[in-house]
Structure 1
Amino acid sequence: MNDTQKVLLAGASGVLGRHITEALTRAGHTVIGLGRGPGAEVRADLMDRDGLLRAVDGIEADTVVHAATALRAAPMRHKDMFATDDLRAIGTRNLMEAARALGARRVIAESMVFGYGYRDFGDHVITEDTDPFAPTGDRAVERHLEGMRVKEELMLGSAGIEGIALRFGLFYGAGGTEPLVEMLRRRKVPAVADHGRVLPWVDLADAGRAVALAVEGGRPGQAYNIVDDTPTGFGAHIREVAEAYGTPKPMGAPTWLMRPFPYAHRMVTTSMRVSNARARAELGWAPGHADCAEGLRALAGSRPVDLP
């Protein structure tokens, strides 16, 4: 699949969507934005099956990318994720039906490494082959894992569709880091204690580039971890943002202070090391920076990125 393509991008107006659009456009592809806002070429809500199918009637696309989210702010409580959980399951099912109506050959899913579970994996390095995705048994986060599980199953297991899932680390980068910088300047975010816990990260620009590579290559039916080379604790990431941008040093805080915000607490107490070897070997993808500290310094020292 090396020819230029028409790509229908669900979630084109989001922060990740803008980076995906830039990467696809740079690769020579034509992007058709799908969303609810006035700037979308195709105005539709993924949760409205009939409206979505009407909106795509008469349109053709070679590939569909699902990068839509219902989040408008960082999720703190489990209920903050419910709309996105539903979008992953119900919205994906509707989008797959639309993909067939469009005549799309390939569908790419935005997925995430938290699908491996919200827990401490210790020194174990997670790979796509050795670790189950969205395991059952953790009642507190089962609704979230089910949404991720269904989304991948729908995209990777649909007959006649070349499905690829990209399991992203935590995002940082142009459009995503600036709100955190502003909070640090106003002294509104602490750096929680990591106690040796680490998480995988990825620059938004690198994430967009991974999508463009998946449009052109990769094995159908496969999932790829898209993470940088060096996992970093959540608190350490906050401190690295402050150092890169010269904001006031964040106050340290014990993890138990996050307990009133149970979803955020599960995130910051998760620890995982995730391999990107398959993405390197099969997609030809590699992070632009080995770790988020290097990426943040480059971002802080560059001009603002002017995304479409």
Structure 2
Amino acid sequence: MRVFVAGGSGALGRRLVPQLVARGHQVTATTTSAAKLRLLEELGAQGVVMDGLDAVSVGEAVAQARPDVIVHQMTGLSGKLDMRHPDRSFAPTNRLRIEGTDHLLAAAEATGVPHVVVQSFAQSYGPGAGLLTEQDPIDAGTSPVARRLSSGVLHIQDVVPKAGGTVLRYGGFYGPGASDDVVKMVRKRMFPLVGEGTGWASWVHLDDAASATVLVVEQQARGVFNIVDDEPAQVRDWLPYLAACAGAKRPLRVPKWLAKLLAGEFPVTMMTEGHGFSNARAKRKLGWQLRYPSWREGFKEELGVSRETGASA
């Protein structure tokens, strides 16, 4: 197949492009920087400079590639995350998830591309308990910051299924280049447990996220898929484990009122109200087999530290 990967030089794009190429697909991958064209060529793709926020740039790149499928992996994350104002840090990504998605859908319609696959995020803060399935919509909750932070995924949730596309709700990424900032904060004891740490999260290794995406492309699978590992976890479980794997001291614990005072409302929401997601549909419909079924083995392998000894592996 001819596969157009928008955002091929990002953390997931760098793992996805080689997997597509290895399976015999012809890949055109985009970047916003001409300096990264060589990287894309080394990954096996035809590199193209494209501005995802420019409808003309997107339309021309898609028309020239003539793809069978478009995969939207564009994000705008750069620099250190501002936990007090994470919506500001995510503003460029939200624009790409809103405007960039609209531009890609329009280009697909204009050039007759039958399938568009779009990156989303498995994070929801609504009321209730239990794991969320694909039938459960993303709920941004009541926090104004969380609602602004979720504006991109809410837009994707609305427009992509209507256009006959596929939404991939990825868990929190970890793997090469994806979790460095979090690990640094944990090692400096700057990532504390808030309250009882009862909020849930779902993780996925970059390589597993990429392999699921390949299956969606090849099977032309439609609808919504939760691309997460087998073990959703509460913050009070995964954060101390991550610290141990990183050779760091156990995270500090701070009450909710103090965390809100020092870091704002979003960290409190994330650590106390988040939901976990079920991957049952993705495994059943796609035949997806994870290399890292649990973040426990993935964290340990990626960080190269023995949980038992604290020594580098």
User: TM-score if structure 2 supplies the norm length?
Assistant: 0.82
1:175-215: per-residue Cα shift (whole Å, max 9, x none)? 22333333344444334444433211111111111111110
CA distance in 2, matches of 1:9, 1:156: 19
In structure 2, the residue matched to 1:306 is none
1:25-83: per-residue Cα shift (whole Å, max 9, x none)? 23222221112111242212111112322344432111111111122243521333333
Within-5 A mapping of 1:142-153: 142-153=147-158
* Greater relative contact order (CA < 8 Å, ≥ 6 in sequence): 1
Within-5 A mapping of 1:98-117: 98-114=107-123, 117=124
Give 2:28's match in structure 1, choosing from 32, 35, 54. Answer: 32
Within-5 A mapping of 1:280-299: 280-299=283-302
The range that moved more, 14-23 or 62-71, is 14-23
1:248 deviates by 3.7
In structure 2, the residue matched to 1:62 is 68
In structure 2, the residue matched to 1:166 is 168
Runs of 5+ unmatched residues, structure 1: 303-308
- Preserved contact between residue 168 and residue 225 of structure 2 (Cα < 8 Å): yes
- Preserved contact between residue 134 and residue 148 of structure 1 (Cα < 8 Å): no
1:126 counterpart SS class: coil
1:87 counterpart SS class: helix
CA distance in 1, matches of 2:200, 2:140: 21
CA distance in 1, matches of 2:18, 2:256: 37
CA distance in 2, matches of 1:146, 1:67: 17
Within-5 A mapping of 1:134-283: 134=139, 140-158=145-163, 162-217=164-219, 219-220=221-222, 222-259=223-260, 260-283=263-286
Within-5 A mapping of 1:14-25: 14-25=10-21
1:74 alignment partner AA: L
2:165 counterpart SS class: strand
The range that moved more, 197-206 or 71-80, is 71-80
Aligned length: 290
Report the CA distance shift for 1:43/1:257 in structure 2 as closer, same or farther (over 3 A).
farther
Task: State the Cα RMSD in Å.
Answer: 2.6
- Preserved contact between residue 126 and residue 139 of structure 2 (Cα < 8 Å): no
2:115 alignment partner AA: R
1:273 counterpart SS class: coil
In structure 2, the residue matched to 1:49 is 55
1:104 alignment partner AA: V
1:104 deviates by 2.1
CA distance in 1, matches of 2:270, 2:160: 26
- Preserved contact between residue 110 and residue 166 of structure 1 (Cα < 8 Å): yes
1:232-273: per-residue Cα shift (whole Å, max 9, x none)? 223533322221232344333334443233333322222313
Within-5 A mapping of 1:85-104: 85-104=94-113
- Preserved contact between residue 22 and residue 208 of structure 1 (Cα < 8 Å): no
1:135 deviates by 7.0
The range that moved more, 81-90 or 104-113, is 81-90
- Preserved contact between residue 193 and residue 235 of structure 1 (Cα < 8 Å): no
Runs of 5+ unmatched residues, structure 2: 38-46, 306-313
- Preserved contact between residue 121 and residue 171 of structure 2 (Cα < 8 Å): yes
CA distance in 1, matches of 2:150, 2:182: 26
CA distance in 2, matches of 1:206, 1:135: 26
1:174 alignment partner AA: P
1:31 counterpart SS class: strand
Instruction: Give % identity.
Output: 31
In structure 1, the residue matched to 2:310 is none
